[in-house]
């Protein structure tokens, strides 16, 4: 018999199987010996009261084996995926971009018996790692191989947080289950805030790649798509940098939020794109121990059975949203630009989240009127021209990234300021120890950020200090600029058949097209598009 129950335990109790079984026995009023095992369905931390509890929802197996993985209310075998051999499939799909969207689209196509051919501008995960080391250590960027471009896309050397605001539970479970199938730890299936970590993601991505190849699909690296060969409102072929042409029955465009050249190519080819508002700000870093003390109300160290604490903050400042974004407990701030002369920061963390800093994006919503104002001040076109420019947000994004690069002084050294100094408009006389490897330069960030972002952040920080006592401190450092929060361009598609509004066999997909944000939602959109294509064939 399987019985679903919930338990509220202390952190040490929730970490011990025998203790959990004892609680199951007493809760169900049965003998300890009749519990064959249990499967955790949901695990969350309740840190609201004086005592911190772990809430567990689990299936207890009473006089029954517990060999299957349980997700939701269903029993799912982990290997319940039917990847078909597609080597001789009559239908093929070209997927541009090997990010989460591209890879999950390819896996779905295998299940549908359709051959995927992935064209990726960057390198495989191993070769990519060397380029990242060069970027962090020497400040030299490879524009085709960096934190955004390469196998696994922006998701590979990321934090690997796997939560999404989407509430399509069935789809989310499928994505998590696929990650587990390819080697992710099983706890991602039940943790309230699942996370994989940068050290584990590359092997998982490689396993997915191997699966695609074994089934007769193709994953081709250093194949940057630079042209679409159009014929009568359809794509006939795509061309890569070295002049190779690739043709298929359909084309999934999953190139992510940083492929500015793809947005420009679409525009040049008169393929409709639209401006899309996004958010911009800074990455903030505190000592992890300070965040633990605030969130767990401990005086020295957090309980050894609790994970490094995180936070999520949001505040309206003069009608504008200021919010934390992609918080990385025990993490590292990374240089996430794709070009020389532009500076972008983001964050990641290892699976154990055992670095001594906690970082998070802290961003402000950018509207069209803000972008126009800043671009005009910087000497760009007339208001009328900017009003109709699909690149208005992209140009604004690039402008601030260039300012940040210059303010840092080159080689991806980032401009930075302590938090209270930022609010007081005072250049910091020193900067705290931090995780950003290329180095920080003490700068007044009002020389980088437009006033509407600067002032909103300053007000936001003061408000966050009231919500989390100790958060508003000069121990925290702000690093500019957090600018790739989502795509600054939308590639519009038909809501029913998911095809581009003008090009029949082109399927704009996931984050770059403006239909996803984050690993899980990008993966879900990849699957959705692949399923739609299969339905059309």
Ligand X SMILES: Cc1cc2nc3c(=O)[nH]c(=O)nc-3n(C[C@H](O)[C@H](O)[C@H](O)COP(=O)(O)OP(=O)(O)OC[C@H]3O[C@@H](n4cnc5c(N)ncnc54)[C@H](O)[C@@H]3O)c2cc1C
Task: Please list every residue from 343 through 372 that binds ligand X, using CB under 6 A.
Answer: 346, 348
The residue range among 152-160, 181-189, 300-308, 415-423 that interacts with ligand X, by the rule CB under 6 A, is: 152-160
- The CA distance from 162 to 158, in Å, is 11
Stretch that binds ligand X, among 18-26, 106-114, 117-125, 436-444 (CB under 6 A): 117-125
Q: Does 102 bind ligand X (CB under 6 A)?
A: yes
Q: Which stretch binds ligand X (CB under 6 A): 96-104, 175-183, 365-373, 413-421?
A: 96-104
In contact, 391 and 489? CB cutoff 8 Å: yes
Residues belonging to the chain: 537
Alpha-carbon gap, residue 272 to 47, rounded angstroms: 48
Q: Which distant-in-sequence residues (6+ apart) come within 8 Å of 284 by Cβ?
A: 359, 360, 361, 362, 419, 476, 477, 478, 479
Task: Pick one of 40, 61, 124, 160: the residue that binds ligand X (CB under 6 A).
Answer: 160
Among 283, 511, 528, 533, binds ligand X (CB under 6 A): 511
- Alpha-carbon torsion 155, 161, 166, 169, what sign? positive
If one asks whether residue 516 binds ligand X (CB under 6 A), the answer comes out as yes
The dihedral over CA atoms of 251, 254, 258, 261, expressed in degrees to the nearest 10, equals: 0
108 or 254, CB closer to ligand X? Answer: 254
Q: How far is the CB of 338 from ligand X (least distance, A)?
A: 9
Instruction: Name the residue nearer to ligand X (CB basis): 224 or 286.
Output: 224
Cβ-proximal residues to 337 (8 Å cutoff; 6+ apart), any chain: 141, 146, 343, 344, 401, 405, 412
Contact between 96 and ligand X by CB under 6 A: the answer reads yes
The token pair at 310 is 């995180």
Residue-by-residue DSSP string for 156-184: TTS--B---S---HHHHHHHHHHHHHTT-
| Contact code string over 248-287 relative to ligand X, x by CB under 6 A | ------xxx--x--x-------------------------
428 vs 434, beta carbon nearer ligand X: 434
Stretch of 41-49, 155-163, 395-403, 417-425 lying at the interface with ligand X (CB under 6 A)? 155-163
- Residue 402's nearest CA partner among 442, 359, 449 is 449
Tokens linked to 78: 């982990």
Rounded to the nearest whole angstrom, what is the least distance from the CB of residue 151 to ligand X in the complex? 7
Interface residue with ligand X among 336, 366, 394, 453 (CB under 6 A) is 336
Nearest-approach distance from CB 358 to ligand X, in angstroms: 14
DSSP designation for 447? G
Integer Cα distance of 37 and 46 in angstroms: 25
Cα Rg of the chain (Å, integer) = 24
- Asked if residue 147 binds ligand X (CB under 6 A), the reply is yes
Q: Read off the tokens for 194.
A: 């699942």
By CB under 6 A, is residue 150 in contact with ligand X?
yes
- Asked if residue 109 binds ligand X (CB under 6 A), the reply is no
* DSSP character string of 195-256: B--TTTHHHHHHHHHHHHHHTT-EEESS--EEEEEEETTEEEEEEETTS-EE--SEEEE---
Q: Which is nearer to ligand X, 97 or 460 (CB)?
A: 97
Residue 519 lies near ligand X (rule: CB under 6 A)? yes
Of 66-74, 98-106, 363-371, 529-537, the segment contacting ligand X by CB under 6 A is 98-106
Name residues contacting ligand X, limited to 12-71 (CB under 6 A): none
Q: Which is nearer to ligand X, 172 or 448 (CB)?
A: 172
x/- contact string, 468-507, with ligand X (CB under 6 A)?
----------------------------------------
Q: Which of 94, 95, 101, 235 is close enough to bind ligand X by CB under 6 A?
A: 101
**Residue located via tokens 């969130």:** 295
Q: Mark the segment that binds ligand X (CB under 6 A) among 27-35, 51-59, 63-71, 158-166.
A: 158-166
Rank residues 99 and 275 by Cβ distance to ligand X and give the closer one: 99
**Contact call for residue 202 and ligand X (CB under 6 A):** no
- CA dist list (Å): 124 to 335, 469, 477: 19, 44, 34
Write phi, then psi, for 436 (nearest 5 degrees). Answer: -80, 110
By CB under 6 A, residue 149 contacts ligand X: yes
Residue numbers at the binding site for ligand X (CB under 6 A)? 96-102, 119-122, 147-150, 153-155, 158-161, 224-225, 254-256, 259, 262, 326, 334, 336, 346, 348, 510-512, 516-519, 522
């Amino acid at each position: 018999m399987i019985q679903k129950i919930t338990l509220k335990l202390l952190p040490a109790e929730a970490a011990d199987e025998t203790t959990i079984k004892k609680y199951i026995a007493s809760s169900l009023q049965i003998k300890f010996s009749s519990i064959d095992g249990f499967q955790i369905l949901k695990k969350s931390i309740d840190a609201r009261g004086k005592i911190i509890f772990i809430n567990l929802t689990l299936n207890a197996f009473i006089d029954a084996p517990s060999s299957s993985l349980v997700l939701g209310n269903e029993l799912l075998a982990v290997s319940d995926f039917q990847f078909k051999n597609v080597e001789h499939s009559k239908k093929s799909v070209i997927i541009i971009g090997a990010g989460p969207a591209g890879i999950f689209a390819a896996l779905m196509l295998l299940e549908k018996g359709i051959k995927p051919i992935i064209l990726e501008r960057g390198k495989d995960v191993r070769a990519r790692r060397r380029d990242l080391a060069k970027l962090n250590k020497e400040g030299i960027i490879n524009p085709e191989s960096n934190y955004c471009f390469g196998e696994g896309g922006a998701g590979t050397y990321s934090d690997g947080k796997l939560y999404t605001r989407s509430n399509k539970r069935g789809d989310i479970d499928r994505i998590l289950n696929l990650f587990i199938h390819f080697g992710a730890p099983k706890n991602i299936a039940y943790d309230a805030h699942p996370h994989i970590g940068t050290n584990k993601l590359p092997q998982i991505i490689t396993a997915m790649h191997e699966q695609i190849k074994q089934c007769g699909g193709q994953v081709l690296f250093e194949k940057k798509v630079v042209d679409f060969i159009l014929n009568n409102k359809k794509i006939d072929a795509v061309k890569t940098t070295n002049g190779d042409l690739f043709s298929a029955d359909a084309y999934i465009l999953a190139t992510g939020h940083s492929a500015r050249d793809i947005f420009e190519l679409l525009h040049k080819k008169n393929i409709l794109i639209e401006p899309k508002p996004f958010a911009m700000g800074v990455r903030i870093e505190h000592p992890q121990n300070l965040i633990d003390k605030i969130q767990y109300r401990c005086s020295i160290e957090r309980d050894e059975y609790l994970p490094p604490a995180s936070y999520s903050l949001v505040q309206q400042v003069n009608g504008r949203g200021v919010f934390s974004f992609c918080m990385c407990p025990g993490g590292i701030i990374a240089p996430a630009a794709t070009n020389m002369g532009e500076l972008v920061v983001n964050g990641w963390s290892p699976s154990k989240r055992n670095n001594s800093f906690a970082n998070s994006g802290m961003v402000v919503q950018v509207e069209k009127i803000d972008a126009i104002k800043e671009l005009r001040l910087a000497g760009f076109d007339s208001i009328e021209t900017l009003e109709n420019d699909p690149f208005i947000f992209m140009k604004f994004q690039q402008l601030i990234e260039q300012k940040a690069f210059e303010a840092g002084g080159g080689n991806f050294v980032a401009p930075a300021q302590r938090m209270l100094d930022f609010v007081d408009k005072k250049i910091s006389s020193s900067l705290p120890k931090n995780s950003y490897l290329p180095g920080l330069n003490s700068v007044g960030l009002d020389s980088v950020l437009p006033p509407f972002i600067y002032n909103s952040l300053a007000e936001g920080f003061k408000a966050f200090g009231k919500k989390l006592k100790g958060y508003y401190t000069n121990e925290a450092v702000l690093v500019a600029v957090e600018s790739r929060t989502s795509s600054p361009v939308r590639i519009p598609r038909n809501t029913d058949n998911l095809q581009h509004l003008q090009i029949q066999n082109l399927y704009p997909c996931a984050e770059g097209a403006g239909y996803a944000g984050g690993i899980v939602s990008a993966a879900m959109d990849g699957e959705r598009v692949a399923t739609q294509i299969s339905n059309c064939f």
